[in-house]
Amino acid sequence: MESMSIELEQNEIVPKTDEFAIETINLSKVFGKENQIRAVDNLNLQIRKGEVFGFVGPNGAGKTTTMKMLIGLLEPSEGSGKVAGFDIVREVINIRVTTGVLPEPAGFYDNLTARQNLRFYAKLYDIKPDVREKRIVNLLETVDLTRAIDQKTGGFSTGMRKRFGLAQALINEPSVLFLDEPTSGIDPLGAQMMRDLIKDLNRSKGVTVFLSSHSMEEVEDICDRIAIIARGKLLAVGSVEDLRDIVRAKEGVHYLLEFQDIPISEAAEAVNNVEGVQALEIQNGTLHVHAKMKLRPEIAKAVKTAGGTVSMFEEEEMNLQKLFLKIIEGV
C-alpha cells in the first residue's frame, strides 16, 4: 500500500452518524483514453454499519478498483461515495483515520521487523508511544505472530504476510475494514484462522468489514450480505437466501420428493397437475420436480388430496458457488 502522512489529530475526527458505513452512488471508474474500460460502472452499494459484506466477481470485475476508490487511492471518474460518513474525494484523510486496509498484494518495509513496521504505521496515526507499544504486542498476538515480532517481514511466508497485513490494518482501531482477498494464497488452516479473526473483530468490536474473495465457501461462511460484480456492473446483492430467490425467479425451483401410501406414478400425476410445475422425472424412487416458482405447500396439498403422504421433500441445494455461476452466466 502507498504510504501516507496524516496531519490531523485523531481526536479531531468526529464520526458522522450516517446510516451506512459505506455508500456509493453511481460510482464509476474509466481507464484509458482510446480503448476505454469501464472498470467500475455505475455502482450503487449500501453497506450497513456492523455488516460483514462480501464483494465477489471474476478476475477483472472491478473489485480492487472499487476498494481503491473507497479508500482514496483512486479518484472516481463519475459518481460519489461515502465511507464512515466521509466523502471519498473530499475527506480522504478522515477516511484513512477511521478505516483499515489489507491490500492485495500487501506491501511492507521488508527490511524492517514486524514491530518496526507497525511502529512506523502507528506513528503516521500519532498514536502515543506507550499505547502504541502495547497495541503492537496485542495485535501481533491476535494474529498469532508473537514469535515473529522481531523478525523482518521480508522473510514472512504468504500466510504470515496476510496475518501481518491484518495487524497493520488494525493499528488505528478502525471502524471500517477493507480486506482485498484476505485469504488468497494461504493454506486451509491459515484461511480458517483469518476467517475466525474477521468474525471475531466484527462480533466483539462491531467493525464493519468489506472484503473481496474468490472463495465462495468463505464468503458464504462469514458474510451477512454479498454483492456480485462482473465487468464493472453490479449483478446482484443480498444475503445468500436473497441470492437464492433471485436465481429461483430466473431459473425456477428444483424439488426432490418421496412418498408413502401412494404409487409414485400416481403422486407424479397429482404433482403434474399443480399450476407452475414445468417438468417431472422419476429416478430410483425419487420424483424430481422442476417448478416455475416456490410451490412447496401446493405440491404437498396435491399429494395429500390424492391420498398420499410426502415422506421426503427437499429443494436441490444451491450453495453460493452454484448461485454465483448462475448469476454471472452469460455476462
Ligand X SMILES: Nc1ncnc2c1ncn2[C@@H]1O[C@H](COP(=O)(O)OP(=O)(O)OP(=O)(O)O)[C@@H](O)[C@H]1O
Site for ligand X in 65-124 (CB under 6 A): 65
Ranges of H-type helices in the chain: 63-70, 92-98, 114-124, 129-142, 158-169, 188-205, 216-222, 240-251, 264-272, 296-305, 320-328
Direct distance between the N- and C-terminal alpha carbons of the chain, in angstroms, rounded to an integer: 31
- Chain residue at closest Cβ approach to Mg ion: 64
Is position 62 an interface residue for ligand X (rule: CB under 6 A)?
yes
Residue 94: C-alpha distances to residues 10, 26, 114 (Å): 9, 22, 26
Q: For Mg ion, which stretch binds (CB under 5 A), given 48-56, 58-66, 226-234, 297-305?
A: 58-66
Ranges of H-type helices in 28-111: 63-70, 92-98
Find the shortest distance in angstroms from Cβ 229 to ligand X.
Answer: 7
Q: Which is nearer to Mg ion, 64 or 175 (CB)?
A: 64
Q: Which is nearer to ligand X, 38 or 123 (CB)?
A: 38
Q: Which is nearer to ligand X, 39 or 222 (CB)?
A: 39
Q: For ligand X, which stretch binds (CB under 6 A), given 31-39, 42-50, 160-168, 262-270?
A: 31-39
Is position 215 an interface residue for ligand X (rule: CB under 6 A)?
no
Kindly tell me the burial class for residue 7, based on how many C-beta atoms sit within 10 Å of its own C-beta (0-12, 13-18, 19 or more). exposed
Cβ pair 222, 318 in contact under 8 A: no
Strands 52-56, 225-230: pairing kind: parallel
Strands 208-212, 176-180: pairing kind: parallel
- Single residue of 27, 61, 262, 267 touching ligand X by CB under 6 A: 61
Q: Which is nearer to Mg ion, 161 or 244 (CB)?
A: 161
Find the shortest distance in angstroms from Cβ 179 to Mg ion.
Answer: 11
Q: Which is nearer to ligand X, 59 or 284 (CB)?
A: 59
DSSP state for residue 171 in the 8-state scheme? T
Is position 64 an interface residue for Mg ion (rule: CB under 5 A)?
yes
Cβ pair 117, 168 in contact under 8 A: yes
Q: For ligand X, which stretch binds (CB under 6 A), given 9-17, 54-62, 235-243, 309-317?
A: 54-62
Cβ pair 201, 177 in contact under 8 A: yes
Q: Which is nearer to ligand X, 38 or 254 (CB)?
A: 38
Cβ pair 22, 82 in contact under 8 A: yes
Q: Which is nearer to ligand X, 162 or 244 (CB)?
A: 162
Residue 256's identity, in one-letter code, is L
Choose the one of ligand X, Mg ion, none that binds residue 16, judging by a C-beta under 5 to 8 angstroms depending on kind: none
Find the shortest distance in angstroms from Cβ 34 to ligand X.
Answer: 12
- Single residue of 15, 26, 31, 309 touching ligand X by CB under 6 A: 31
Find the shortest distance in angstroms from Cβ 227 to Mg ion.
Answer: 14
Residue in 21, 70, 293, 322 with CA at minimum distance from that of residue 180:
70
- Phi/psi at 307 (5° precision): 90, 10
Q: For ligand X, which stretch binds (CB under 6 A), given 61-69, 140-148, 245-253, 311-319?
A: 61-69
- Single residue of 23, 41, 54, 63 touching ligand X by CB under 6 A: 63
Residue ranges binding ligand X (CB under 6 A): 31, 37, 39, 57, 59-65
